Structure 1
């Protein structure tokens, strides 16, 4: 393979949040095939930029400085989704053109739909687009939930059109699960014009290994049981889930188990969420250097997402750490585990979920068996190398004629 141009909306280092975990492993898989030229947006992390430069044949790291309000004005004036105008850079567009003109580029691999705008219409090589999940459906769900209805409905409509355009342009469009792929196809005007491939999320089970991670001392020393929820806490679905636990689930759970403690672990908690730190049974930790000790110290890990797209890395991480996970059906999509064997699935009903959690706490042998089964499951079915194996074939496959550029 002569070379690949890889476009991502964030520097794929460090692999410490959902999208970067996937883009990081996607980049490593591409680098094993040949030289990779990486264009992405940076957020001022010099160490991450240096790490990228060690792996890539060349890089363009455009600064992410455009205010969201300006992106919104540009979107309204141009008739485009805010998701695209927020990630538009003339510098990056020029670098893409120059790289294609001066380097031997066989394929362009796009990570996340925001970056599809940089694929030139006249590029003759393979185009692979990893949408991960259906962003337009996420914004549609926000609008249906009554959140900024006009803006989210507009974003959903325009992103749906962009997702279809990208699918018609690409030689392969990757989704993160069969369910997400089916949802994507169901929203297309011309589904037969799009070649869809499923590549799921993986887990580094050697890193997320309970045998090499001691529980956090604060959790080990304090009375419990301890329940942990991890993630980027300014991401609306994570904030919403954490608030639901604190406001709806925890009062019911603590009526059953008065010593129950809920730990919110992840960077950038919103002001509303941070205000609950110190409330009865609540600890909001914010950014931590390593989530593994918190997972290791948990009696159970919660993933009570009310809105979720694709495969949840937080769930795979907890399963790899042999912790029993209690999650909603929304958070369970894309992972073919079995309720009662590998995890516990409950609808977001406080009484029903509290009952399942209380039963789990009262039967430690059952909890231990679920954790053991969970780790075995992700080791067998979600290793990153196995997940990314189809990538080489997608890039090397002969082109089947030009796809639509618009």
Structure 2
């Protein structure tokens, strides 16, 4: 292959949240195949601090500050008729750098990470185009629109409709459209009335050497407690995660504590919203916020929970817990794309009462819980490493691009 232009909506360093973990490993794999030029956005001081790592991996790069002006993006979206998700990531500077790179470098592959960045695919480009949608974003906004009321519901329904059209456009334009699981592939195909060229499931992986129970001592305070500890990890300003921990604290924990009053629920993850912080002390809930390393908390957890009602793609938080040999209780939605089976590798509950019952069963039978954790790690090591997950990538970028008309 020649050179690749990699366009991502977030800086692929540091790899400390789901989308950045995936983009990081994709970039790493592409860089092993040939020179890669990266165009991406920075949002935090940590993004800028990690720029030397990006510079070391990329042949060239541009890192553009993305202002957090959601209200302005929304107004611009209304005026232009575009999704807010696109206007929020629109940048003249990024577009100019992309145009100059295509002019000056022998780019034969444009790799777009996340549908928001499809707007930067150059008009008339005759090389290979690969779009990694990760999951079907329009379906997420459809679920939001169905669960909310008032103006916000209208905005979500509008976003769903416009993103659905954009996803169909990208599927028709790209030589290959990637999604994180076969379930997402099926959903994508079912939601588009414009036939996609080629749709491929390319799963997420996990760094099983890093997420290894032998490499992390349990968090001291949790380890010293005689009380059973439940744990949820994730980006805590992400709406499905917020809804999940509210559900756990306010609906599931009361059921659990009726039979086991000492059980504690810990929420670990950066940027907790006001709604998440308000859970502090509710039914044994403790909100920790961002921590330097999530592994000690995983190592100390008796059970990891993922009571997600909206879960697109594959949940990295579940893979991380399984790699750390923790028993996991989760919803059917959170189990999608993980593989494995219930009850060997995890425990599924399809209601608040069922989730509570699965947690209580594991707390009462520590031998069963430990066996589940061991089986979970064994499964992840065998099937969910990044090398195995991204093995098809070389073939995808090695195929000759088709001759395309303008899209």
The Cα shift of 1:357 comes to 1.2
Q: Which runs of 5+ in 2 are unaligned?
A: none
Runs of 4+ in 1 over 6 A off after TM superposition: none
Residues of 1 paired with 2:281 and 2:258: CA distance?
Answer: 18
- For the structure 1 residues 326 and 66, does the alpha-carbon distance in structure 2 shift closer, same or farther, using more than 3 Å as the test? closer
Which of residues 258, 264, 269 in structure 1 aligns to 2:267?
Answer: 264
**Partner of 1:244 in structure 2?**
247
Would the aligned equivalents of 1:129 and 1:173 in 2 still touch at CA under 8 Å? yes
TM-align CA RMSD: 1.0
1:272-351 paired onto structure 2 within 5 Å: 272-347=275-350, 349-351=351-353
Give the structure 2 partner of residue 47 of structure 1: 49
2:189 corresponds to 1:173? no
Q: Distance in 2 between matches of 1:291 and 1:362?
A: 25
Q: Which residue number corresponds to residue 102 of structure 1?
A: 104
* CA displacement 1:100-146 (0-9 Å, x = unmatched): 00011110000000001001121111000000000000000000112
Counterpart-to-counterpart distance in 1, 2:148 and 2:244:
16
Separation of aligned partners in 1, 2:68 and 2:236: 22
C-alpha separation in 1, matches of 2:170 and 2:96 = 20
Residue 280 of structure 1: CA displacement? Answer: 4.0
Q: Does 1:155 align with 2:156?
A: no
Check if 1:227 corresponds to 2:236. Answer: no
Once the two structures are TM-superposed, the CA of residue 390 in structure 1 deviates from its matched residue by 1.0
Are the aligned partners of 2:41 and 2:64 in contact in 1 as well (CA < 8 Å)? yes
Deviation at 1:194, TM superposition (A): 2.5
- Partner residue, 1:218: 221
Q: Could you say which residue in structure 2 is the equivalent of 1:371?
A: 373
Alignment match of 1:398 (pick from 393, 397, 400): 400
- Is the partner of 1:228 in helix, strand or coil? strand
Aligned twin of 1:36: 36
Q: Could you say what secondary structure the match of 2:107 adopts?
A: coil
Secondary structure of the corresponding residue to residue 62 of structure 1: strand
CA positional deviation for 1:223: 2.1
Q: Does 1:64 align with 2:66?
A: yes
Q: Helix, strand or coil for the counterpart of 1:41?
A: strand
Partner of 2:282, secondary structure, is coil
- 1:73-84 correspondence runs (5 A): 73-84=75-86
SS in 2 for 1:159: helix
Give a deviation string over 1:248-299, Cα, whole Å, max 9, x none. 0001101111110000000111112102213341110000000000000000
Residue correspondences, number: 403
Give 5+ residue unaligned stretches, structure 1: none
In structure 1, how many angstroms separate the alpha carbons of the residues matched to 2:202 and 2:54?
23
* Partner SS, residue 106 of structure 1: strand
Picking from 382, 385, 388, the partner of 2:387 is 385
Q: What is the alpha-carbon distance in structure 2 between the residues aligned to residue 44 and residue 365 of structure 1?
A: 43
